[in-house]
Structure 1
Amino acid sequence: MSAPHFSPGFQAELQQLFTWRRDVRHFRTDPVPETILAGLLHTACLAPSVGLSEPWRFVRVDAPSRRVTIRANFARANTAALSGQSGDNAQRYATLKLAGLDDAPHQIAVFCDTDPSQGRGLGRGTMPETTVWSAIMAIHTFWLAAAAQGIGVGWVSILDPAEAASTLCVNPNWRFLAYLCVGYPQEQADTPELERKGWEHRNPARRVWINR
Protein backbone atom coordinates (compact mmCIF):
# COMPACT_ATOMS: atom_id res chain seq x y z
CA MET A 1 0.00 0.00 0.00
CA SER A 2 1.45 3.34 -1.03
CA ALA A 3 1.39 6.29 1.35
CA PRO A 4 -1.18 9.01 0.57
CA HIS A 5 -0.12 12.28 -1.03
CA PHE A 6 -1.24 15.33 0.91
CA SER A 7 -1.84 18.15 -1.52
CA PRO A 8 -0.82 21.78 -0.91
CA GLY A 9 -4.52 22.56 -0.48
CA PHE A 10 -4.85 19.96 2.28
CA GLN A 11 -1.70 21.25 3.96
CA ALA A 12 -3.11 24.78 3.95
CA GLU A 13 -6.37 23.57 5.50
CA LEU A 14 -4.42 21.62 8.11
CA GLN A 15 -2.60 24.82 9.05
CA GLN A 16 -6.00 26.50 9.42
CA LEU A 17 -7.08 23.69 11.74
CA PHE A 18 -4.04 24.28 13.96
CA THR A 19 -4.78 28.02 13.96
CA TRP A 20 -8.49 27.72 14.78
CA ARG A 21 -8.20 25.00 17.44
CA ARG A 22 -9.03 26.79 20.66
CA ASP A 23 -9.50 26.06 24.34
CA VAL A 24 -13.25 26.69 24.43
CA ARG A 25 -14.98 28.13 27.50
CA HIS A 26 -18.42 29.07 26.11
CA PHE A 27 -20.60 26.24 24.85
CA ARG A 28 -24.02 25.70 23.38
CA THR A 29 -26.05 23.15 25.31
CA ASP A 30 -27.20 20.99 22.38
CA PRO A 31 -25.44 17.60 22.43
CA VAL A 32 -23.02 16.23 19.88
CA PRO A 33 -24.46 13.15 18.10
CA GLU A 34 -23.27 9.87 19.59
CA THR A 35 -21.93 8.66 16.25
CA ILE A 36 -19.66 11.71 16.05
CA LEU A 37 -18.43 11.26 19.62
CA ALA A 38 -17.64 7.63 18.87
CA GLY A 39 -15.71 8.73 15.78
CA LEU A 40 -13.69 11.23 17.81
CA LEU A 41 -12.72 8.51 20.27
CA HIS A 42 -11.69 6.22 17.42
CA THR A 43 -9.51 8.98 15.95
CA ALA A 44 -7.97 9.78 19.34
CA CYS A 45 -6.87 6.17 19.64
CA LEU A 46 -4.82 6.54 16.45
CA ALA A 47 -2.37 8.62 18.50
CA PRO A 48 1.17 7.28 18.89
CA SER A 49 2.03 5.57 22.15
CA VAL A 50 5.23 4.25 23.68
CA GLY A 51 5.62 0.57 22.87
CA LEU A 52 2.09 0.63 21.40
CA SER A 53 0.88 0.59 24.98
CA GLU A 54 -2.22 2.77 24.36
CA PRO A 55 -2.28 3.88 28.03
CA TRP A 56 -5.11 6.41 27.69
CA ARG A 57 -8.46 5.81 29.37
CA PHE A 58 -11.35 8.07 28.28
CA VAL A 59 -14.17 8.26 30.84
CA ARG A 60 -17.58 9.71 29.98
CA VAL A 61 -18.98 11.62 32.96
CA ASP A 62 -22.75 11.53 32.52
CA ALA A 63 -24.07 11.03 36.06
CA PRO A 64 -25.54 14.35 37.33
CA SER A 65 -24.32 13.67 40.88
CA ARG A 66 -20.73 13.25 39.73
CA ARG A 67 -20.93 16.38 37.59
CA VAL A 68 -22.17 18.36 40.58
CA THR A 69 -19.27 17.09 42.68
CA ILE A 70 -16.75 17.97 39.97
CA ARG A 71 -18.31 21.46 39.70
CA ALA A 72 -17.90 21.95 43.45
CA ASN A 73 -14.29 20.78 43.19
CA PHE A 74 -13.67 23.40 40.52
CA ALA A 75 -15.38 26.15 42.54
CA ARG A 76 -13.12 25.54 45.55
CA ALA A 77 -9.97 25.35 43.44
CA ASN A 78 -10.94 28.46 41.48
CA THR A 79 -11.57 30.45 44.67
CA ALA A 80 -8.15 29.44 45.95
CA ALA A 81 -6.56 30.40 42.62
CA LEU A 82 -8.24 33.82 42.70
CA SER A 83 -6.98 34.44 46.24
CA GLY A 84 -3.45 33.87 44.95
CA GLN A 85 -3.76 36.75 42.49
CA SER A 86 -3.25 40.40 43.33
CA GLY A 87 -3.72 43.83 41.79
CA ASP A 88 -4.64 43.96 38.12
CA ASN A 89 -4.14 40.21 37.76
CA ALA A 90 -6.87 39.57 40.34
CA GLN A 91 -9.29 41.82 38.45
CA ARG A 92 -8.47 40.15 35.13
CA TYR A 93 -8.75 36.69 36.63
CA ALA A 94 -12.17 37.45 38.10
CA THR A 95 -13.53 38.33 34.64
CA LEU A 96 -12.36 35.12 32.97
CA LYS A 97 -14.80 32.28 32.42
CA LEU A 98 -12.44 29.42 33.13
CA ALA A 99 -14.76 26.43 32.79
CA GLY A 100 -17.58 25.23 30.57
CA LEU A 101 -18.92 22.94 33.27
CA ASP A 102 -22.31 24.64 33.40
CA ASP A 103 -23.13 24.52 29.68
CA ALA A 104 -21.04 21.89 27.89
CA PRO A 105 -23.26 18.89 27.09
CA HIS A 106 -20.42 16.39 27.41
CA GLN A 107 -17.77 15.97 30.07
CA ILE A 108 -14.87 13.57 29.57
CA ALA A 109 -12.13 12.72 32.04
CA VAL A 110 -8.89 11.31 30.70
CA PHE A 111 -6.68 9.03 32.75
CA CYS A 112 -3.42 7.23 32.10
CA ASP A 113 -2.61 3.66 33.05
CA THR A 114 1.01 4.44 33.88
CA ASP A 115 2.13 0.81 33.94
CA PRO A 116 0.01 -1.09 31.42
CA SER A 117 0.78 -4.67 30.49
CA GLN A 118 0.12 -3.77 26.86
CA GLY A 119 3.35 -2.73 25.16
CA ARG A 120 5.44 -5.06 27.36
CA GLY A 121 7.34 -2.14 28.84
CA LEU A 122 9.05 -1.21 25.58
CA GLY A 123 10.54 2.30 25.71
CA ARG A 124 9.64 2.90 29.36
CA GLY A 125 12.68 1.57 31.15
CA THR A 126 14.58 4.85 31.31
CA MET A 127 11.66 7.25 30.78
CA PRO A 128 8.51 5.83 32.40
CA GLU A 129 6.77 9.19 31.93
CA THR A 130 6.29 8.29 28.27
CA THR A 131 2.98 6.61 29.11
CA VAL A 132 1.66 9.96 30.35
CA TRP A 133 3.04 11.73 27.30
CA SER A 134 1.35 9.16 25.07
CA ALA A 135 -2.01 9.82 26.74
CA ILE A 136 -1.50 13.56 26.24
CA MET A 137 -0.95 12.86 22.54
CA ALA A 138 -4.33 11.10 22.47
CA ILE A 139 -5.98 14.13 24.08
CA HIS A 140 -4.43 16.41 21.47
CA THR A 141 -5.52 14.11 18.66
CA PHE A 142 -9.07 14.10 20.06
CA TRP A 143 -8.96 17.90 20.27
CA LEU A 144 -7.87 18.38 16.66
CA ALA A 145 -10.41 15.86 15.36
CA ALA A 146 -13.14 17.69 17.28
CA ALA A 147 -12.07 21.09 15.95
CA ALA A 148 -12.14 19.73 12.39
CA GLN A 149 -15.87 19.04 12.88
CA GLY A 150 -16.66 22.39 14.51
CA ILE A 151 -16.75 20.89 18.01
CA GLY A 152 -15.13 22.72 20.91
CA VAL A 153 -13.01 21.27 23.70
CA GLY A 154 -12.17 23.02 26.96
CA TRP A 155 -9.55 21.62 29.34
CA VAL A 156 -10.52 22.27 32.98
CA SER A 157 -7.23 22.25 34.85
CA ILE A 158 -8.40 24.10 37.97
CA LEU A 159 -9.32 20.97 39.91
CA ASP A 160 -7.99 18.90 42.77
CA PRO A 161 -6.87 15.84 40.73
CA ALA A 162 -6.97 13.32 43.58
CA GLU A 163 -10.48 14.39 44.53
CA ALA A 164 -11.60 14.26 40.88
CA ALA A 165 -10.26 10.73 40.50
CA SER A 166 -12.03 9.66 43.68
CA THR A 167 -15.29 11.17 42.46
CA LEU A 168 -15.15 9.14 39.25
CA CYS A 169 -14.45 5.81 41.00
CA VAL A 170 -11.96 4.48 38.46
CA ASN A 171 -9.04 2.11 38.81
CA PRO A 172 -6.92 3.55 41.64
CA ASN A 173 -3.77 2.86 39.63
CA TRP A 174 -4.84 5.22 36.86
CA ARG A 175 -3.42 8.76 36.90
CA PHE A 176 -5.85 11.63 36.37
CA LEU A 177 -4.68 13.86 33.50
CA ALA A 178 -7.51 15.98 32.14
CA TYR A 179 -11.12 16.97 32.50
CA LEU A 180 -12.56 18.01 29.16
CA CYS A 181 -15.73 19.92 28.37
CA VAL A 182 -16.96 19.03 24.89
CA GLY A 183 -19.68 20.59 22.75
CA TYR A 184 -20.43 23.11 20.04
CA PRO A 185 -18.85 26.50 20.84
CA GLN A 186 -20.93 29.63 21.12
CA GLU A 187 -18.31 31.44 19.03
CA GLN A 188 -15.19 30.64 17.01
CA ALA A 189 -11.92 32.56 17.03
CA ASP A 190 -8.43 32.16 15.58
CA THR A 191 -6.76 33.64 18.68
CA PRO A 192 -6.87 32.39 22.30
CA GLU A 193 -9.50 33.95 24.54
CA LEU A 194 -6.82 34.70 27.13
CA GLU A 195 -5.03 36.77 24.50
CA ARG A 196 -8.19 38.56 23.43
CA LYS A 197 -8.91 39.48 27.06
CA GLY A 198 -5.39 40.71 27.73
CA TRP A 199 -4.29 37.98 30.14
CA GLU A 200 -1.30 36.87 28.06
CA HIS A 201 0.06 37.02 24.51
CA ARG A 202 1.95 34.61 22.31
CA ASN A 203 5.71 35.12 22.44
CA PRO A 204 7.53 35.14 19.06
CA ALA A 205 10.69 34.05 20.88
CA ARG A 206 9.09 30.61 21.35
CA ARG A 207 9.00 30.10 17.58
CA VAL A 208 12.74 29.84 17.05
CA TRP A 209 15.17 26.96 17.21
CA ILE A 210 17.53 26.77 20.17
CA ASN A 211 20.82 25.56 18.70
CA ARG A 212 23.48 23.69 20.65
Structure 2
Amino acid sequence: MQPPVTPAPAGPFSPDEQAAVYRAIFTRRDVRSQFTDRPVDDPTLMRLLNAAHHAPSVGFMQPWNFIVIRSADVRAQVQAAFARANAEAVAMFPADRRPLYSALKLEGITTAPVNLCITCDRTRGGEVVLGRTHNRDMDLYSTVCAVQNLWLAARAEGLGVGWVSIFHEADIRSILNLPEHVVPVAYLCIGHVDTLYESPELQAKGWRDRLALSDLVFQDRWGNPPGPTVHNP
Protein backbone atom coordinates (compact mmCIF):
# COMPACT_ATOMS: atom_id res chain seq x y z
CA MET A 1 0.00 0.00 0.00
CA GLN A 2 1.36 3.38 -1.01
CA PRO A 3 1.94 5.85 1.85
CA PRO A 4 -0.29 8.93 1.75
CA VAL A 5 0.96 11.84 -0.33
CA THR A 6 1.67 14.78 1.94
CA PRO A 7 2.47 18.10 0.22
CA ALA A 8 5.54 19.88 1.54
CA PRO A 9 5.49 23.59 2.32
CA ALA A 10 6.32 25.78 -0.66
CA GLY A 11 7.32 29.38 -1.03
CA PRO A 12 10.04 31.64 -2.40
CA PHE A 13 13.66 31.19 -1.47
CA SER A 14 15.35 33.77 0.70
CA PRO A 15 16.87 36.73 -1.18
CA ASP A 16 20.37 35.26 -0.80
CA GLU A 17 19.22 31.89 -2.09
CA GLN A 18 17.47 33.50 -5.04
CA ALA A 19 20.60 35.49 -5.86
CA ALA A 20 22.68 32.31 -5.83
CA VAL A 21 20.33 30.55 -8.25
CA TYR A 22 20.30 33.47 -10.67
CA ARG A 23 24.07 33.88 -10.37
CA ALA A 24 24.55 30.27 -11.42
CA ILE A 25 22.27 30.82 -14.41
CA PHE A 26 23.76 34.10 -15.59
CA THR A 27 27.44 33.18 -15.07
CA ARG A 28 27.26 29.66 -16.50
CA ARG A 29 29.58 29.32 -19.48
CA ASP A 30 30.40 26.72 -22.14
CA VAL A 31 34.02 26.09 -21.16
CA ARG A 32 36.61 25.02 -23.69
CA SER A 33 40.01 26.45 -22.84
CA GLN A 34 39.99 27.39 -19.16
CA PHE A 35 40.23 23.95 -17.57
CA THR A 36 42.94 23.47 -14.96
CA ASP A 37 44.66 20.13 -14.36
CA ARG A 38 43.20 19.76 -10.86
CA PRO A 39 41.33 16.47 -10.59
CA VAL A 40 37.61 16.31 -9.96
CA ASP A 41 37.14 14.22 -6.82
CA ASP A 42 34.50 11.50 -6.68
CA PRO A 43 32.25 13.12 -4.03
CA THR A 44 31.98 16.30 -6.12
CA LEU A 45 31.29 14.35 -9.29
CA MET A 46 28.59 12.35 -7.52
CA ARG A 47 26.93 15.58 -6.37
CA LEU A 48 26.78 16.72 -9.98
CA LEU A 49 25.36 13.40 -11.14
CA ASN A 50 22.81 13.45 -8.35
CA ALA A 51 21.73 16.94 -9.40
CA ALA A 52 21.32 15.66 -12.96
CA HIS A 53 19.36 12.65 -11.71
CA HIS A 54 16.90 15.00 -9.99
CA ALA A 55 15.96 16.73 -13.24
CA PRO A 56 12.30 16.74 -14.28
CA SER A 57 11.31 13.94 -16.62
CA VAL A 58 8.01 13.36 -18.39
CA GLY A 59 6.15 10.44 -16.84
CA PHE A 60 9.00 10.19 -14.31
CA MET A 61 10.70 7.94 -16.87
CA GLN A 62 14.23 9.10 -15.92
CA PRO A 63 15.63 8.05 -19.31
CA TRP A 64 19.23 9.08 -18.66
CA ASN A 65 22.44 7.19 -18.05
CA PHE A 66 25.83 8.71 -17.27
CA ILE A 67 29.07 7.37 -18.78
CA VAL A 68 32.01 8.82 -16.82
CA ILE A 69 35.13 8.84 -18.99
CA ARG A 70 38.56 9.24 -17.46
CA SER A 71 40.51 6.88 -19.74
CA ALA A 72 43.14 8.67 -21.81
CA ASP A 73 42.69 6.10 -24.58
CA VAL A 74 38.94 6.61 -24.84
CA ARG A 75 39.33 10.39 -24.77
CA ALA A 76 41.95 10.19 -27.51
CA GLN A 77 39.50 8.27 -29.69
CA VAL A 78 36.80 10.86 -29.03
CA GLN A 79 39.25 13.67 -29.78
CA ALA A 80 40.08 12.06 -33.13
CA ALA A 81 36.37 11.74 -33.94
CA PHE A 82 35.87 15.40 -33.11
CA ALA A 83 38.85 16.44 -35.28
CA ARG A 84 37.47 14.58 -38.29
CA ALA A 85 34.01 16.15 -37.94
CA ASN A 86 35.42 19.60 -37.21
CA ALA A 87 37.49 19.52 -40.39
CA GLU A 88 34.26 18.88 -42.31
CA ALA A 89 32.42 21.61 -40.41
CA VAL A 90 34.83 24.36 -41.47
CA ALA A 91 33.77 24.01 -45.10
CA MET A 92 30.08 24.38 -44.18
CA PHE A 93 30.46 28.05 -43.24
CA PRO A 94 30.80 30.99 -45.65
CA ALA A 95 34.39 31.72 -46.62
CA ASP A 96 34.50 34.95 -44.63
CA ARG A 97 33.54 33.09 -41.42
CA ARG A 98 36.02 30.23 -41.74
CA PRO A 99 39.10 32.00 -40.30
CA LEU A 100 37.21 32.93 -37.11
CA TYR A 101 35.72 29.45 -36.87
CA SER A 102 39.15 27.86 -37.20
CA ALA A 103 40.54 30.17 -34.51
CA LEU A 104 37.91 29.11 -31.97
CA LYS A 105 38.74 26.33 -29.54
CA LEU A 106 35.60 24.22 -29.57
CA GLU A 107 36.39 21.41 -27.13
CA GLY A 108 38.40 20.41 -24.07
CA ILE A 109 38.27 16.65 -24.50
CA THR A 110 41.85 15.91 -23.52
CA THR A 111 42.46 18.84 -21.18
CA ALA A 112 39.41 18.40 -18.92
CA PRO A 113 40.01 15.80 -16.19
CA VAL A 114 36.60 14.21 -16.72
CA ASN A 115 34.48 13.59 -19.79
CA LEU A 116 30.85 12.60 -19.40
CA CYS A 117 28.36 11.28 -21.92
CA ILE A 118 24.72 11.66 -20.92
CA THR A 119 22.51 9.29 -22.85
CA CYS A 120 18.79 8.69 -23.34
CA ASP A 121 17.38 5.16 -23.17
CA ARG A 122 14.42 5.37 -25.53
CA THR A 123 12.90 2.14 -24.18
CA ARG A 124 12.80 3.18 -20.53
CA GLY A 125 9.29 3.12 -19.10
CA GLY A 126 7.97 0.75 -21.77
CA GLU A 127 5.94 1.33 -24.89
CA VAL A 128 3.41 3.69 -23.30
CA VAL A 129 4.70 6.38 -20.94
CA LEU A 130 2.53 8.93 -19.19
CA GLY A 131 2.96 12.28 -20.94
CA ARG A 132 4.77 10.75 -23.91
CA THR A 133 1.72 9.27 -25.63
CA HIS A 134 1.60 11.99 -28.29
CA ASN A 135 5.18 13.25 -28.42
CA ARG A 136 7.78 10.52 -28.49
CA ASP A 137 10.65 12.97 -28.10
CA MET A 138 9.74 13.95 -24.55
CA ASP A 139 12.40 11.49 -23.33
CA LEU A 140 15.07 13.43 -25.22
CA TYR A 141 13.81 16.74 -23.84
CA SER A 142 13.84 15.28 -20.33
CA THR A 143 17.45 14.20 -20.75
CA VAL A 144 18.43 17.73 -21.76
CA CYS A 145 16.93 18.92 -18.46
CA ALA A 146 19.40 16.59 -16.71
CA VAL A 147 22.24 18.23 -18.66
CA GLN A 148 21.16 21.69 -17.51
CA ASN A 149 20.81 20.57 -13.89
CA LEU A 150 24.35 19.23 -13.93
CA TRP A 151 25.68 22.36 -15.61
CA LEU A 152 24.22 24.71 -13.01
CA ALA A 153 25.37 22.49 -10.14
CA ALA A 154 28.87 22.48 -11.64
CA ARG A 155 28.88 26.27 -11.78
CA ALA A 156 27.94 26.39 -8.09
CA GLU A 157 30.82 24.00 -7.32
CA GLY A 158 33.36 26.13 -9.22
CA LEU A 159 33.58 23.64 -12.08
CA GLY A 160 33.35 24.37 -15.78
CA VAL A 161 31.42 22.33 -18.32
CA GLY A 162 31.80 22.27 -22.09
CA TRP A 163 29.32 20.59 -24.45
CA VAL A 164 31.01 18.99 -27.46
CA SER A 165 28.55 18.41 -30.30
CA ILE A 166 30.74 18.20 -33.40
CA PHE A 167 30.75 14.45 -33.95
CA HIS A 168 29.29 11.83 -36.20
CA GLU A 169 26.93 9.98 -33.87
CA ALA A 170 28.11 6.65 -35.28
CA ASP A 171 31.64 7.39 -34.04
CA ILE A 172 30.48 8.06 -30.46
CA ARG A 173 28.26 4.99 -30.54
CA SER A 174 31.18 2.83 -31.60
CA ILE A 175 33.70 4.29 -29.15
CA LEU A 176 31.34 4.05 -26.15
CA ASN A 177 29.69 0.77 -27.22
CA LEU A 178 26.17 2.21 -27.01
CA PRO A 179 23.20 -0.11 -27.58
CA GLU A 180 20.96 0.70 -30.53
CA HIS A 181 18.11 1.96 -28.34
CA VAL A 182 20.36 4.41 -26.43
CA VAL A 183 20.97 7.90 -27.86
CA PRO A 184 24.01 10.02 -26.95
CA VAL A 185 22.44 13.36 -26.02
CA ALA A 186 25.38 15.30 -24.58
CA TYR A 187 29.14 14.77 -24.53
CA LEU A 188 30.50 17.01 -21.77
CA CYS A 189 33.97 18.04 -20.61
CA ILE A 190 34.16 18.80 -16.88
CA GLY A 191 36.92 20.32 -14.80
CA HIS A 192 37.95 23.02 -12.36
CA VAL A 193 38.25 26.57 -13.69
CA ASP A 194 39.88 29.62 -12.14
CA THR A 195 38.49 32.16 -14.61
CA LEU A 196 35.49 32.43 -16.90
CA TYR A 197 34.54 34.86 -19.66
CA GLU A 198 32.27 37.64 -18.44
CA SER A 199 30.02 36.98 -21.43
CA PRO A 200 29.63 33.77 -23.48
CA GLU A 201 32.89 33.04 -25.28
CA LEU A 202 31.32 33.05 -28.75
CA GLN A 203 29.89 36.49 -28.00
CA ALA A 204 33.18 37.75 -26.56
CA LYS A 205 35.07 36.58 -29.66
CA GLY A 206 32.65 38.08 -32.14
CA TRP A 207 30.85 34.99 -33.41
CA ARG A 208 27.35 36.10 -32.41
CA ASP A 209 25.61 38.50 -30.01
CA ARG A 210 22.85 37.62 -27.57
CA LEU A 211 19.41 38.22 -29.07
CA ALA A 212 17.17 40.82 -27.47
CA LEU A 213 14.60 39.21 -25.17
CA SER A 214 11.92 41.67 -26.29
CA ASP A 215 12.23 40.27 -29.85
CA LEU A 216 11.56 36.72 -28.64
CA VAL A 217 8.40 37.14 -26.55
CA PHE A 218 4.92 37.08 -28.07
CA GLN A 219 1.51 37.57 -26.45
CA ASP A 220 -1.07 34.76 -26.77
CA ARG A 221 -0.18 33.85 -30.38
CA TRP A 222 2.90 33.80 -32.59
CA GLY A 223 3.81 37.24 -33.84
CA ASN A 224 1.64 39.22 -31.44
CA PRO A 225 3.74 41.89 -29.69
CA PRO A 226 4.33 41.29 -25.98
CA GLY A 227 2.70 43.20 -23.19
CA PRO A 228 4.25 46.40 -21.79
CA THR A 229 6.03 44.54 -18.96
CA VAL A 230 8.47 42.78 -21.30
CA HIS A 231 11.77 44.55 -21.69
CA ASN A 232 15.42 43.75 -22.11
CA PRO A 233 17.29 43.35 -18.79
Q: TM-score range by the shorter chain?
A: over 0.9
Residue 27 (structure 2) pairs with residue 43 (structure 1): no
Amino acid aligned to 2:9:
S
Going from structure 1 to structure 2, the CA distance change for 1:206 and 1:134 (only over 3 Å counts) comes to farther
What is the aligned-residue identity percentage?
37
Structure showing the higher helix proportion among its residues: 1
Counterpart-to-counterpart distance in 1, 2:31 and 2:185: 18
Provide Cα deviations, 1:115-154, integer angstroms capped at 9, x if missing partner: 2136961111101100000000001000000001110000
- In structure 2, the residue matched to 1:80 is 88
1:14 and 2:21 matched: yes
Partner SS for 1:183 = strand
- Structure 2, unmatched stretches of 5+, are 1-7, 222-233
> Which runs of at least 4 in structure 1 moved beyond 3 Å after TM superposition?
205-208
Aligned to 2:148: 140
Q: Which residue of 1 aligns with 2:101?
A: 93
Change (3 A) 1:206 1:140: farther
Give, in angstroms, the shift of residue 66 of structure 1: 1.7
Deviations 1:158-191 (CA, angstroms, capped at 9, x unpaired): 1111210111013221011111000012521331
Tell me the amino acid that sits aligned with residue 56 of structure 2. P
1:149 paired residue number: 157
Given that residues 154 and 181 in structure 1 are in contact (C-alpha distance below 8 angstroms), is that contact kept between their aligned partners in structure 2? yes
With 129-138 and 202-211 compared, the bigger mean Cα shift is at: 202-211
Asked which structure has the greater RCO (Cα within 8 Å, sep 6+), the reply is 1
1:87 is paired with a residue whose SS is coil
**Matched residue, 2:136:** 128
* Rg (Cα) greater in structure: 2
Determine if contact 2:165/2:187 at 8 Å carries over to the other structure: yes
Change (3 A) 1:37 1:6: same
Alignment of 1:155-194 (within 5 A): 155-194=163-202
Matched length: 212
Q: Distance in 1 between matches of 2:187 and 2:214?
A: 27
Q: Answer yes or no: is the 8 Å Cα contact 2:164–2:186 preserved in 1.
A: yes
Please give the alpha-carbon distance, in whole angstroms, between the structure 2 residues aligned to 1:179 and 1:25.
13
Is the contact between residue 53 and residue 118 of structure 1 (CA under 8 Å) also seen in structure 2? Answer: no
Query: Is the 8 Å Cα contact of residues 75 and 110 (structure 2) preserved in structure 1?
Result: no
